[in-house]
Amino acid sequence: MSEQIQQELDVDRFTLGLVGPDQEWAGTVADGGTVHTHTPPACWGPMITPEFRGGHEVTRPIRVENAEPGDALVVHIKDVEVTSVATSTGSMAEREGAFGSDPFVDHRCPECGTEWPDSVVEGTGEDAIRCAECGANASSFGFEFGYTVAFDEDRSVGLTVGPDGAADLAEHADEAMALPDHSRQHPILLYKPDEIPGTLGHLRPFIGNIGTTPSVEFPDSHNAGDFGQFLIGADHDWGLADESALDARTDGHMDSNDVRPGATLICPVEIDGAGLYVGDLHANQGDGELSLHTTDVSGRTELEVSVIKDLDIDGPLLLPNESDLPDIAQPYTDAEREAGEALAAEHHVDDVVDAAPLQIIGSGATINDATENAFARAGTLFDMSEGEVRARCTFTGGVEIARLPGVVQLSMLAPMDLLEERGLADTVREQYDI
């Protein structure tokens, strides 16, 4: 890897489904610099391509100047541009015999037994992905219920298509999905699912998997507390002994539809250089990602990065667009502050505590576990009891579901004096212009 520090870094090379300290670096960007990425669809394509060791195709890790373990990486999401003109998605069905412990990770040919076999495409449909060794259908997944979506030119709406439209798109699947040159996945449009034709959907692109490199290697889709459960006791190279081994995760796989242009993400740094990685762009997604999958697309991102020294967090923090915050977690208006001062004078309160929005990401096996994880992270961040965290989040915030079964965003209006102590105040003020 070149050690040259670049003010602007373009990244267009990808891993084969893993994130960890041994992955080849994409390059080094300056503290305060800009990263441009062009990524392929991250989920369905890698899922049906048996060469992959994880369920996503994300960028190689990006080294950030000055980032050391114990710091935090601030990522301002400036732009997300969808380049695909269509995609297919839905709920999944696993194919018996095409994997060992985990259909996302330890793929094998169900006939010849080759592990992570090279594969070729023969025709279209759910039997199109063939083992290069024996010719058997080597994909681990099909659709339990699937649909194909075509996008308008502005990527503002998508329309589900019927059998003829899905078949047409499957015939030029690589082109329609705009796969980057160095992508190694087979495009999911090949499967040509055609349920719910004529359904019109709003598009609002965001980044589903973005974060920093964990200190141990994980399949990229499993760098989270819910998908990471599949690793516990698994009989493959990335199997974990118990739940505590998941503490090494950095929760890059969030699938929060608020991680979109205008938002700011603050990530823990676990290795020298941080190892920022990006992928899993989605054209849209309802809260919770109820099918476990959504509209995976190729696309470009523009990200500005900077380092906060010695923040020492163990999971991401999110500063979403103001419009994406719960109503009661919005920044105070001048009129609200004035009303608060009047109430303070009337009821013998010395000071009205200044506060600003912050979201703590939590993940776990279930939504309840993820919420408990977010409570614990918030308590550690601000040296608060769980009771105080629950109280502040009930009165000035709330919990939102990013993904089932277990990723949440815990909102609160955090006291500014605590944000100052933790070195977050300037970033929060910049995000919300306060």
Look over the chain and give the mean of its residue pLDDT values, rounded to a whole number: 97
Task: Write down the pLDDT at residue 381.
Answer: 98
- Rounded mean pLDDT, 407-421: 98
pLDDT confidence of 195, banded at 50, 70, 90?
very high
- Asked whether the beta carbons of 281 and 80 are under 8 A apart, the reply is yes
- Rounded mean pLDDT, 218-244: 97
384, part of any domain? yes
CA dist 221 to 97, 107, 216, Å?
21, 15, 14
379, part of any domain? yes
Residue recorded with tokens 């100052």: 420
Q: Is the pLDDT confidence value at 9 over 70?
A: yes
Paired residues of 277 in beta bridges: 211
**Conformational region of residue 396, where left means phi above 0, alpha means psi within -120 to 50, and beta covers everything else:** alpha
367, part of any domain? yes
pLDDT in tens, 330-364: 999 999 999 999 999 999 999 999 999 999 999 99
pLDDT in tens, 13-30: 999 999 999 999 999 999
- Rounded mean pLDDT, 417-428: 98
Final residue belonging to a domain, choices 202, 227, 242? 202
- Rounded mean pLDDT, 125-152: 98
2, part of any domain? no
Q: Is the pLDDT confidence value at 164 over 70?
A: yes
Q: Is the pLDDT confidence value at 1 over 60?
A: no
- Rounded mean pLDDT, 366-389: 98
Taking alpha carbons only, the member of 314, 316, 215 closest to residue 264 is 316
Parent domain of 398? 322-432
Instruction: Give the whole-angstrom CA distance, residue 330 versus residue 178.
Output: 38
Look at the chain and report how many structural domains it folds into: 2
Task: Write down the pLDDT at residue 89.
Answer: 98
159, part of any domain? yes
pLDDT confidence of 3, banded at 50, 70, 90?
confident
Taking alpha carbons only, the member of 86, 234, 100 closest to residue 170 is 86
High-pLDDT (> 90) share of the chain, %: 99
pTM reported for the whole predicted model: 0.97
Task: Write down the pLDDT at residue 167.
Answer: 98
Instruction: Give the whole-angstrom CA distance, residue 235 versus residue 206.
Output: 34
Residue recorded with tokens 């009337």: 346
175, part of any domain? yes
30, part of any domain? no
Final residue belonging to a domain, choices 202, 217, 238? 202
Q: Is the pLDDT confidence value at 297 over 90?
A: yes
Final residue belonging to a domain, choices 154, 175, 202? 202
361, part of any domain? yes
- Rounded mean pLDDT, 169-181: 98
